[in-house]
Each structure stands twice: as C-alpha cells, then as structure tokens.
Structure 1
C-alpha cells in the first residue's frame, strides 16, 4: 500500500497533507525518515510514525450509534442519514449493519467490514436482535404464543419464531410495553408482526444485537468505537 493512501485512510490528512508532512521530515517508516509520499509499505508489518506517534494499522472500524428518530439508516439519502451523524471516520467507507426505520431509535452498528455485516444479518447465523416497543393494544399470553410460532405478514411471508416478553400492560389505556427478540430483519418487520395480530407499534427502539447491549451512557445521537470484545458479542 502507498504511504499517502495508508495515512489518509487512517485520518492523518489528504494526500496533499501527507506530502507536506514528508517535506517537514516528520514521518518515519521503521525508524527511517520518509522522503517520498508514494513509497510502498506493508501496513501489517511496517511501523509508521507521524511526529513521533505510531499510526496503528486499522483496516476495519466498528461504530455503535444510538440512532435518533428522524434519521435514515442509509449511506445516501435526500434526508439526513446515520452516516451524516458520525464524524471523524470520513476516510472509512462506512455503512449501517442492517436498517432501522426512520422513526425507530436505538442500537445501530456502522462498519466498513462487509463480511461482518453479512454474518450479523444472515438469518442462518441466528444473531438475535432485541427491541423494546410500545404497543397500541393489549399484548396477551396468546400473543406471545402466536409470536413463538411465527406470524404471517401482509405479503404472505411467515416469519421465524419471535420471543415476545410482556413488560407492562395498561388496561385502562389499552396499551402494552414489550420486549421482542427476532433473528430476521425484513422491511418494517416488528411493526408488521404486530399488525398481523391486530395491533400497532407506537414506539420502537433496538436495545441489543447478539449479546451486545446499547451502551447506557450513549445519549440519542451519540456514538463510540467498539472494542474487539464488544465486536465478538454481536455474533453471540
């Protein structure tokens, strides 16, 4: 890999910026001062330093975002996207791992690791996605049983089983609060599953992916890099 590409990829600056740093003689590779910005290096074995700071090779990055409502889970859209929220990672080609509806909040992972995304989203991998939802309607034990067997959506698709837990029921207001665990991610799936049993989702928030829970310290719209341990939790 070219040095200027490596450094721009890791947020040091543009290729023009790297050339300027080379002229200042503040970049070294394996202890030797760099004289050409386009020199070739092995990012996995060579030690690159800029102004005495080691630039660690990081081919992939994983970001946890507490997605706010009103933001689109896409890389490009006429409306504000989740990519627009995250700053400081512009040199990575980030994409969301799955989608949350525009009005849905909560845990969303952004990465440039396509294999990771495939592993998390494939129903065959059985990665749980856990949601908290407020429901217009009374969720009963019968509803729980229906979800255990999967429900048939409006297009005829029969979902995989969902683990539905009743958190609270307000009989006077005819509303419920629930937690739902599913392993699929069909379009508007959670909302359509409740519509299939005659109810409506009025609030939806993803709180967990695999064994990775949404960081309670992240306010809506905040984000952080995931540690290697946290990344492993996503795959259960």
Structure 2
C-alpha cells in the first residue's frame, strides 16, 4: 500500500516554507520580512530564518494566508508531441505545460508515456509514492485504449493472456486484451483495451508487433485504481482530489 505523507508537526525555517510554495527566493523573502510583510499567528515576523510549523501556525504574506503542503499530486491528460521528462534541449516536456503554481513544487512524471501517446500521466514531487507506483514488485495495472491496424481476434486475446515474446526475446507477463470494435474500410482497424502489469519500453506497441499488427493510436486511461478524468482536456492538468489520493493509497 502506498503511503501518502506530509510530515505534519515538524518546524521548518520560514523562508524555506515560503520559497517551497512559490512566495519568492530566500533573499526576496528576507527583504519582505524586514519590510514587515510576513506575519506568523498575527505577529509580524522580521526574521525569515525563524522556525515555525507550516501546518499549525498561521502564516501570511502581504495579507495573504499561506496554504502549505509538502507534496503535490497532479493528473495530466498528456497530449501528443511532448516528452514525459523534466527537461529536453529539443522538444517540449510535460513540465512546460504546467502553471507556475505547480512548477514551484518541482514535480516530475511518474513513469513515462511515449511522445505520441496520450492520456493519464501522474506528476508529483513525492519520491516514495513514485517508487511504489513504478516498483516491478507491485505489478500496478495500467490500462490503455488503442487503434490497431489489422483484425485483432480471439487468437490475439489468448496470446496476450499467456504472454507474448517481444523482439528482444523477453516474454511479457499475462495481459488482458479486450476487443471493443472494428472499422472495416480499405483496411481493418481494431479498437481495443489492454491492461498490462509491467512497463517495458514501448511495450504495448511491441506486443502488437509480436502478433503482426501495428498500433496507430494509444491512450492510457487508468493507472492502478485511478481512472483518467474524462472531462480533463488534452494538455490540461489538475491536482488529485482526496478521493483520488485514496485510490492511489490502495495500491
């Protein structure tokens, strides 16, 4: 089970707390404190290095109450054409899509989606949670919906249930393949849902390649018990609700 924690009750330097949630650098906060703009429990605090409890003390900056949290948990509906990385010299990354109020927490993507793959991507600065979600021991299920060139049939369902041999010789763990429909035209396009419990490089695409078919569209729709918000537009991001955090904690 994943443990979502915040470190409540620990006193920290005031400037560290405020810089963590985006109120400025430590030097900027030192100036604001000297100007009397920072109060703790209603009392002006001119020492930006003072130790306070960010959860139990009331901190205000220029009259604005500070809502502190150590960790942030974000759901993104990743669009095509961006990398699941924190930085890249040539391409845009998912961090480039975030608002500053999120980037100040220095989140990172939990795992990765290919550049042209869309759908559910989690971002957080909680390293322990990310480790548990990605741990090979956990076998966290991930469900994808895809369009596949060719007629996906019962033989493919059976092959995926047993595990297929990839191009490097690796045999995948059993996966649940469901045929959602087919479009017949000049070429048959199969609509499928696939749940896997591991995360090898380009795994979904390579699994279909192993049975002689090609994925032309791929979208992740859930991770563990957490589904993608159907109302979240591509490229958009929001914080997880308390109910969604509970779903992650059940992993």
1:141-175 CA distance string (max 9 Å, x none): 11111111111111111111111110012344222
Match of 1:8 in 2: 19
1:161-209 CA distance string (max 9 Å, x none): 1111100123442220100111111100000011111111000011111
* TM-score normalized with structure 2 length: 0.88
Match of 1:38 in 2: 49
Rounded to whole Å, the distance in 1 between the matches of 2:65 and 2:115 is 40
Segments of 5+ residues of structure 2 without an aligned counterpart are 1-11
Deviation of the 1:34 alpha carbon: 0.4
Are residues 1:84 and 2:71 paired?
A: no
Are residues 1:154 and 2:128 paired?
A: no
Aligned mate of 2:203, from 189, 196, 204: 189
Deviation of the 1:53 alpha carbon: 3.6
Rounded to whole Å, the distance in 2 between the matches of 1:232 and 1:128 is 16
Moved more, 18-27 or 103-112: 18-27
Aligned mate of 1:25, from 32, 36, 50: 36
Match of 1:229 in 2: 243
Aligned mate of 2:228, from 201, 207, 214: 214
Aligned mate of 2:157, from 135, 139, 144: 144
Q: Report the 3-state secondary structure (helix = DSSP H, G, I; strand = E; otherwise coil) of the residue aligned with 1:123.
A: coil
Q: Does the CA-based 8 Å contact 1:138-1:171 persist in structure 2?
A: no
Q: Does the CA-based 8 Å contact 1:95-1:110 persist in structure 2?
A: yes
Deviation of the 1:31 alpha carbon: 3.1
Q: Does the CA-based 8 Å contact 2:35-2:46 persist in structure 1?
A: no
Q: Does the CA-based 8 Å contact 2:166-2:207 persist in structure 1?
A: yes
Rounded to whole Å, the distance in 2 between the matches of 1:93 and 1:125 is 25
Match of 2:8 in 1: none
1:70-116 CA distance string (max 9 Å, x none): 10101111211011111222221211000000010111011011111
Q: Does the CA-based 8 Å contact 1:28-1:50 persist in structure 2?
A: yes
Q: How many residues align?
A: 236
Match of 1:50 in 2: 61
Q: Does the CA-based 8 Å contact 1:122-1:184 persist in structure 2?
A: no
**Which aligned pairs between 1:53-68 and structure 2 lie closer than 5 A?**
53-68=64-79
